[in-house]
Amino acid sequence: MDFSENKNLKLHLDMSGENGWTLKFAKGEEIVKEIPKADISVMTDEVRELFKEQGYTADNTILIEFSYNATESGTTSAYLDTMKIINTMKSEYTHLFYSETDVSVFAG
């Protein structure tokens, strides 16, 4: 996927969910999937489904921009769970790459 054409996925760890946290995936400016906190295997299956919906195959290069706010309560645990999901997906999609940004560094 071409990063310059904004075809990459954005992933935001949203800690404001009613029942905990939510993984929000966007492509361009559109939210394409929200995955609420659940068992890791259930969440990973949801990410697999998203990849299929986006037409990704194991041969594709997939870029994910992962953002989170480390100062929000519960972020450490949610971050670790999110990394488990990302690492599982990386084992299945060997050309999956991600960057991560802690947006709290921009808070004034």
| pLDDT tens for each residue of 72-98 | 999 999 999 999 999 999 999 999 999
| pLDDT of 106 | 84
Residue 17's pLDDT is what? 73
User: Residue 4 above 80 pLDDT?
Assistant: no
Average pLDDT of the residues in 26-36: 95
- Model pLDDT, residue 105: 87
Going from the C-alpha of 58 to that of each of 2, 20, 29, 91, 95, the distances in angstroms are 16, 31, 25, 10, 7
Q: What is the assigned CATH class of domain 3-70+82-106?
A: alpha beta
The domains of the chain are located at 3-70+82-106
Q: Please state, in angstroms and rounded to a whole number, the distance separating the CA atoms of residues 19 and 22.
A: 9
C-beta separation of 86 from 66 below 8 A: yes
